[in-house]
Amino acid sequence: MIENAHLFGRTQSLVGISCEPEQKQYLAEQPALIILNSGILHRMGPNRIYVNLARQIAGAGLLSFRFDFSGVGDSGTREDLLPLGTWMVDEVQQAMTYLSEQYGVREFVLMGICSGADAAFQAACADTRVIGCVSIDGYAHSSTGFLIHSYAKQLKRIRSWGKLLTGQSGVWDMFRRNLASQMSRGSYEQEHTEDKWEAPSVEKIIGEARALLKRDVALFFIYSSGSPAYYNYLKSFQSRFNEMRSEGLPMQAEFVDGADHGFTLVHFQRILGERILAWLAKLPERLLV
Protein backbone atom coordinates (compact mmCIF):
# COMPACT_ATOMS: atom_id res chain seq x y z
CA MET A 1 0.00 0.00 0.00
CA ILE A 2 1.30 3.46 -1.00
CA GLU A 3 -0.17 6.72 0.30
CA ASN A 4 0.55 10.08 -1.31
CA ALA A 5 -0.65 13.64 -0.77
CA HIS A 6 -1.97 15.61 -3.76
CA LEU A 7 -2.71 19.25 -4.50
CA PHE A 8 -5.19 19.50 -7.35
CA GLY A 9 -8.14 21.36 -8.88
CA ARG A 10 -8.45 24.33 -11.20
CA THR A 11 -7.01 26.66 -8.57
CA GLN A 12 -4.69 24.05 -7.04
CA SER A 13 -6.41 24.56 -3.69
CA LEU A 14 -7.84 21.09 -3.04
CA VAL A 15 -5.90 18.57 -0.94
CA GLY A 16 -6.35 14.82 -1.19
CA ILE A 17 -4.70 11.54 -0.23
CA SER A 18 -4.41 8.62 -2.62
CA CYS A 19 -4.11 5.09 -1.31
CA GLU A 20 -2.64 2.81 -3.97
CA PRO A 21 -2.18 -0.96 -4.00
CA GLU A 22 1.37 -2.26 -4.30
CA GLN A 23 0.61 -3.78 -7.71
CA LYS A 24 -0.29 -0.73 -9.80
CA GLN A 25 -0.26 -2.12 -13.32
CA TYR A 26 -4.04 -2.70 -13.37
CA LEU A 27 -5.12 0.61 -11.89
CA ALA A 28 -6.37 2.09 -15.17
CA GLU A 29 -8.50 -1.01 -15.82
CA GLN A 30 -10.32 -0.82 -12.49
CA PRO A 31 -12.63 1.86 -11.09
CA ALA A 32 -11.14 4.23 -8.51
CA LEU A 33 -13.03 5.01 -5.31
CA ILE A 34 -13.46 8.60 -4.19
CA ILE A 35 -14.43 9.03 -0.53
CA LEU A 36 -16.18 12.28 0.33
CA ASN A 37 -16.17 14.51 3.43
CA SER A 38 -18.96 14.22 5.96
CA GLY A 39 -20.07 17.71 6.90
CA ILE A 40 -17.17 19.74 8.26
CA LEU A 41 -15.11 16.68 9.17
CA HIS A 42 -11.57 16.26 7.85
CA ARG A 43 -10.91 13.74 5.04
CA MET A 44 -10.03 11.03 7.61
CA GLY A 45 -13.78 10.76 8.34
CA PRO A 46 -15.56 10.14 11.64
CA ASN A 47 -13.41 7.98 13.92
CA ARG A 48 -10.79 7.67 11.12
CA ILE A 49 -13.23 5.45 9.24
CA TYR A 50 -12.14 6.77 5.82
CA VAL A 51 -8.49 6.01 6.54
CA ASN A 52 -9.33 2.44 7.50
CA LEU A 53 -11.64 1.96 4.52
CA ALA A 54 -9.05 3.36 2.09
CA ARG A 55 -6.44 0.91 3.33
CA GLN A 56 -8.83 -2.04 3.17
CA ILE A 57 -9.67 -1.05 -0.41
CA ALA A 58 -5.99 -0.76 -1.37
CA GLY A 59 -5.40 -4.19 0.15
CA ALA A 60 -8.02 -5.53 -2.27
CA GLY A 61 -6.10 -4.04 -5.21
CA LEU A 62 -8.08 -0.85 -5.90
CA LEU A 63 -7.08 2.81 -5.89
CA SER A 64 -8.90 5.10 -3.47
CA PHE A 65 -8.79 8.86 -3.05
CA ARG A 66 -10.12 10.94 -0.16
CA PHE A 67 -10.02 14.70 -0.30
CA ASP A 68 -11.23 17.78 1.56
CA PHE A 69 -13.93 19.92 0.00
CA SER A 70 -13.14 23.64 -0.11
CA GLY A 71 -13.10 25.24 3.33
CA VAL A 72 -12.66 21.88 5.10
CA GLY A 73 -9.45 20.39 6.49
CA ASP A 74 -6.42 21.42 4.43
CA SER A 75 -8.23 22.62 1.29
CA GLY A 76 -8.52 26.33 0.59
CA THR A 77 -11.78 28.27 0.41
CA ARG A 78 -13.72 29.09 -2.74
CA GLU A 79 -14.11 32.64 -3.97
CA ASP A 80 -17.09 32.15 -6.26
CA LEU A 81 -20.76 32.32 -5.32
CA LEU A 82 -21.93 28.93 -6.60
CA PRO A 83 -24.59 27.19 -4.47
CA LEU A 84 -23.26 24.62 -2.01
CA GLY A 85 -24.62 21.55 -3.79
CA THR A 86 -23.35 22.78 -7.16
CA TRP A 87 -19.76 23.39 -6.10
CA MET A 88 -19.54 20.13 -4.16
CA VAL A 89 -20.45 18.22 -7.32
CA ASP A 90 -18.00 20.38 -9.27
CA GLU A 91 -15.14 19.48 -6.92
CA VAL A 92 -15.94 15.76 -7.15
CA GLN A 93 -15.72 16.12 -10.93
CA GLN A 94 -12.39 17.93 -10.58
CA ALA A 95 -11.13 15.01 -8.49
CA MET A 96 -12.23 12.52 -11.15
CA THR A 97 -10.49 14.50 -13.89
CA TYR A 98 -7.30 14.70 -11.82
CA LEU A 99 -7.25 10.95 -11.14
CA SER A 100 -7.80 10.26 -14.84
CA GLU A 101 -4.79 12.42 -15.69
CA GLN A 102 -2.56 10.94 -12.99
CA TYR A 103 -3.52 7.26 -13.13
CA GLY A 104 -5.43 6.78 -16.38
CA VAL A 105 -8.58 5.78 -14.49
CA ARG A 106 -11.75 6.06 -16.57
CA GLU A 107 -14.50 4.99 -14.15
CA PHE A 108 -15.30 5.83 -10.55
CA VAL A 109 -17.21 4.68 -7.51
CA LEU A 110 -18.24 7.44 -5.09
CA MET A 111 -18.61 6.81 -1.39
CA GLY A 112 -19.52 8.82 1.70
CA ILE A 113 -21.22 8.78 5.07
CA CYS A 114 -24.05 11.11 6.10
CA SER A 115 -23.78 14.36 4.07
CA GLY A 116 -20.84 12.80 2.19
CA ALA A 117 -23.26 10.11 1.00
CA ASP A 118 -25.67 12.80 -0.20
CA ALA A 119 -22.87 14.54 -2.15
CA ALA A 120 -21.78 11.22 -3.68
CA PHE A 121 -25.33 10.50 -4.84
CA GLN A 122 -25.76 13.92 -6.45
CA ALA A 123 -22.36 13.73 -8.17
CA ALA A 124 -23.29 10.29 -9.52
CA CYS A 125 -26.44 11.82 -11.01
CA ALA A 126 -24.37 14.54 -12.68
CA ASP A 127 -21.49 12.56 -14.24
CA THR A 128 -21.51 9.48 -16.45
CA ARG A 129 -18.00 8.50 -15.38
CA VAL A 130 -19.53 7.22 -12.14
CA ILE A 131 -20.41 3.51 -12.26
CA GLY A 132 -21.21 2.97 -8.59
CA CYS A 133 -22.22 4.81 -5.43
CA VAL A 134 -21.98 3.68 -1.80
CA SER A 135 -24.32 5.66 0.45
CA ILE A 136 -23.69 5.15 4.18
CA ASP A 137 -26.43 6.61 6.39
CA GLY A 138 -27.42 9.06 3.68
CA TYR A 139 -30.54 11.22 3.24
CA ALA A 140 -32.25 11.36 6.64
CA HIS A 141 -35.88 12.46 6.40
CA SER A 142 -37.36 13.59 9.68
CA SER A 143 -40.97 12.72 10.42
CA THR A 144 -43.39 12.35 13.29
CA GLY A 145 -42.97 8.58 13.00
CA PHE A 146 -39.23 8.96 13.37
CA LEU A 147 -39.67 10.99 16.55
CA ILE A 148 -41.91 8.31 18.06
CA HIS A 149 -39.39 5.63 17.06
CA SER A 150 -36.50 7.60 18.58
CA TYR A 151 -38.17 8.21 21.93
CA ALA A 152 -39.70 4.74 22.27
CA LYS A 153 -36.44 3.39 23.66
CA GLN A 154 -36.65 5.77 26.60
CA LEU A 155 -40.23 4.71 27.35
CA LYS A 156 -39.22 1.05 27.72
CA ARG A 157 -37.72 1.83 31.12
CA ILE A 158 -40.17 1.59 34.07
CA ARG A 159 -38.74 4.72 35.67
CA SER A 160 -39.30 6.65 32.44
CA TRP A 161 -42.96 5.62 32.40
CA GLY A 162 -43.40 6.91 35.95
CA LYS A 163 -41.97 10.29 35.00
CA LEU A 164 -44.07 10.36 31.84
CA LEU A 165 -47.33 9.80 33.72
CA THR A 166 -46.50 12.45 36.31
CA GLY A 167 -45.46 14.99 33.71
CA GLN A 168 -41.79 14.98 34.78
CA SER A 169 -40.39 13.24 31.70
CA GLY A 170 -38.28 15.17 29.22
CA VAL A 171 -39.72 13.06 26.39
CA TRP A 172 -42.78 15.30 26.06
CA ASP A 173 -40.61 18.42 25.86
CA MET A 174 -38.34 16.88 23.22
CA PHE A 175 -41.29 15.62 21.20
CA ARG A 176 -43.07 19.00 21.31
CA ARG A 177 -39.91 20.88 20.28
CA ASN A 178 -39.21 18.59 17.34
CA LEU A 179 -42.83 18.52 16.19
CA ALA A 180 -43.05 22.31 16.42
CA SER A 181 -39.84 22.52 14.39
CA GLN A 182 -41.32 20.32 11.66
CA MET A 183 -44.55 22.37 11.52
CA SER A 184 -42.79 25.73 11.37
CA ARG A 185 -40.10 24.73 8.87
CA GLY A 186 -42.11 25.69 5.79
CA SER A 187 -42.74 29.26 6.88
CA TYR A 188 -39.16 29.65 8.06
CA GLU A 189 -37.75 28.56 4.71
CA GLN A 190 -39.96 31.03 2.87
CA GLU A 191 -38.42 33.86 4.90
CA HIS A 192 -34.78 32.69 4.77
CA THR A 193 -33.08 32.08 1.43
CA GLU A 194 -29.50 31.45 2.56
CA ASP A 195 -27.60 28.64 0.83
CA LYS A 196 -28.24 25.31 2.54
CA TRP A 197 -27.74 21.63 1.71
CA GLU A 198 -31.31 20.34 1.63
CA ALA A 199 -32.36 16.71 1.35
CA PRO A 200 -34.59 16.22 -1.71
CA SER A 201 -38.05 14.74 -1.27
CA VAL A 202 -38.40 10.98 -1.02
CA GLU A 203 -40.03 10.88 -4.45
CA LYS A 204 -37.16 12.84 -6.00
CA ILE A 205 -34.57 10.53 -4.43
CA ILE A 206 -36.38 7.43 -5.69
CA GLY A 207 -36.68 8.95 -9.16
CA GLU A 208 -32.99 9.81 -9.27
CA ALA A 209 -32.02 6.38 -7.95
CA ARG A 210 -34.11 4.70 -10.64
CA ALA A 211 -32.49 6.90 -13.33
CA LEU A 212 -29.02 5.93 -12.07
CA LEU A 213 -29.91 2.23 -12.03
CA LYS A 214 -31.29 2.46 -15.57
CA ARG A 215 -27.92 4.01 -16.50
CA ASP A 216 -26.34 0.84 -15.08
CA VAL A 217 -24.87 2.64 -12.05
CA ALA A 218 -24.71 0.20 -9.15
CA LEU A 219 -26.09 1.55 -5.87
CA PHE A 220 -25.29 0.29 -2.38
CA PHE A 221 -27.24 1.80 0.52
CA ILE A 222 -25.95 0.99 4.01
CA TYR A 223 -27.67 2.03 7.23
CA SER A 224 -26.54 1.70 10.85
CA SER A 225 -28.89 1.11 13.76
CA GLY A 226 -27.69 4.46 15.13
CA SER A 227 -28.59 6.30 11.94
CA PRO A 228 -31.22 9.05 12.16
CA ALA A 229 -32.42 7.77 8.78
CA TYR A 230 -33.06 4.17 9.86
CA TYR A 231 -36.74 4.47 10.76
CA ASN A 232 -37.47 6.57 7.69
CA TYR A 233 -35.47 4.21 5.46
CA LEU A 234 -37.71 1.35 6.51
CA LYS A 235 -40.92 3.28 6.00
CA SER A 236 -40.07 5.50 3.02
CA PHE A 237 -37.53 3.60 0.96
CA GLN A 238 -37.74 -0.12 1.65
CA SER A 239 -40.79 -0.96 -0.48
CA ARG A 240 -39.35 1.06 -3.38
CA PHE A 241 -35.96 -0.63 -2.98
CA ASN A 242 -37.67 -4.02 -3.10
CA GLU A 243 -39.47 -3.04 -6.30
CA MET A 244 -36.22 -2.00 -7.99
CA ARG A 245 -34.47 -5.19 -6.91
CA SER A 246 -37.36 -7.27 -8.24
CA GLU A 247 -36.86 -5.56 -11.60
CA GLY A 248 -33.27 -6.82 -11.69
CA LEU A 249 -31.75 -3.35 -11.27
CA PRO A 250 -28.24 -3.22 -9.68
CA MET A 251 -29.38 -2.02 -6.23
CA GLN A 252 -28.40 -3.36 -2.83
CA ALA A 253 -29.43 -2.19 0.65
CA GLU A 254 -28.14 -3.49 3.99
CA PHE A 255 -28.48 -2.72 7.68
CA VAL A 256 -25.54 -3.00 10.13
CA ASP A 257 -27.18 -3.92 13.41
CA GLY A 258 -25.47 -2.53 16.52
CA ALA A 259 -23.36 0.08 14.74
CA ASP A 260 -23.73 3.74 15.68
CA HIS A 261 -23.96 6.54 13.12
CA GLY A 262 -20.19 7.13 13.11
CA PHE A 263 -19.22 3.42 13.18
CA THR A 264 -17.14 4.20 16.26
CA LEU A 265 -16.14 0.65 17.18
CA VAL A 266 -13.38 -0.94 15.09
CA HIS A 267 -15.45 -4.12 14.98
CA PHE A 268 -18.21 -2.39 13.02
CA GLN A 269 -15.73 -0.54 10.81
CA ARG A 270 -14.32 -3.93 9.86
CA ILE A 271 -17.79 -5.26 9.06
CA LEU A 272 -18.54 -2.18 6.99
CA GLY A 273 -15.30 -2.60 5.02
CA GLU A 274 -15.95 -6.27 4.40
CA ARG A 275 -19.44 -5.58 3.04
CA ILE A 276 -18.21 -2.80 0.77
CA LEU A 277 -15.38 -4.98 -0.57
CA ALA A 278 -17.81 -7.85 -1.23
CA TRP A 279 -20.03 -5.44 -3.17
CA LEU A 280 -17.07 -4.00 -5.10
CA ALA A 281 -15.92 -7.49 -6.09
CA LYS A 282 -19.07 -7.80 -8.23
CA LEU A 283 -18.46 -4.60 -10.20
CA PRO A 284 -15.67 -5.71 -12.57
CA GLU A 285 -17.63 -8.85 -13.47
CA ARG A 286 -20.77 -6.87 -14.27
CA LEU A 287 -19.40 -3.62 -15.67
CA LEU A 288 -15.88 -4.08 -16.90
CA VAL A 289 -16.11 -7.22 -19.05
- What pLDDT, in 10s, does the model give residues 120-179? 999 999 999 999 999 998 876 554 444 444 445 554 554 544 544 554 544 445 444 444
Domain range list for the chain: 2-141+201-287, 144-191
- What pLDDT, in 10s, does the model give residues 230-262? 555 555 667 777 777 788 888 888 888 889 888
- What pLDDT, in 10s, does the model give residues 97-136? 999 999 999 999 999 998 899 999 999 999 999 999 999 9
The highest-level CATH class for domain 2-141+201-287 is: alpha beta
Q: What is the pLDDT of residue 115?
A: 87
In contact, 87 and 80? CB cutoff 8 Å? yes
Q: What is the pTM of this model?
A: 0.78
